[in-house]
Copies of this chain bind each other. A is one copy, B any other.
Amino acid sequence: MPGMQGAFLSVDHIGIAVDNLSEAIERFQKLLGGPPESIEEVKEYDVKTAFFGVGETNLELLEPTSLDSPIAKFLQKRGSGTHHVCLSVSNLEGLLQALKSAGVRLIDETPRKGAHGKRVAFVHPNALCGVLLELSEQMPHNEDPSR
């Protein structure tokens, strides 16, 4: 599938499920030598998050705010640790179509709205040896209703 290779721009973030965000922030702050760049609640996913930038990517700590959160289920099953990897892509819609045609199992066959004016979609971990992969595309300003 020539052409798809250019769709992948960077690792946007590494999502880490934690039981207690304040305690996790303290731990990562001790490692990285400074506070997180942002702390916020993402209501669509029932999580509180903190982002620590490292180069062009971020470590995203995720604490569930309800038992229905997918992060709460992950913590119950596996304990705290790396939950997902997010790649920044261009042309998410075209990429999802190409992946579907190639037989890659997707959780989302079309993009949905993510945080920070982004469109996102998840690839099923069964397609990638147990890795839950998020694909994320920055929406153009004129298509972003949150701006």
Chain A contact residues, CB within 8 Å of chain B = 1-5, 7-11, 14, 16, 18-19, 24, 27-28, 30-34, 54-57, 59, 61, 78-82, 85, 87-88, 99, 102-104, 123, 125, 127-131, 133
Contacts and interface: CB of A to CB of B under 8 A. Distances in A.
Contact of A82 (B9, B24, B85): B85
B127 A31 contact: yes
A80 B129 contact: yes
Given A7-B33, A56-B57, 14 more contacts: A1-B33, A8-B33, A8-B54, A9-B54, A9-B55, A10-B54, A10-B55, A10-B57, A11-B11, A16-B129, A16-B131, A30-B104, A80-B129, A80-B130
B31 A128 contact: yes
A79 B31 contact: no
A129 B71 CA distance: 14
Contacts of A103: 30
A10 B99 contact: no
Contacts of A55: 8-11, 56-57, 88
Nearest to A55: B10
A85 B4 CA distance: 25
Nearest to A57: B11
B81 A28 contact: no
A31 B81 contact: no
A104 to B, nearest CB: 6
A47 B94 CA distance: 35
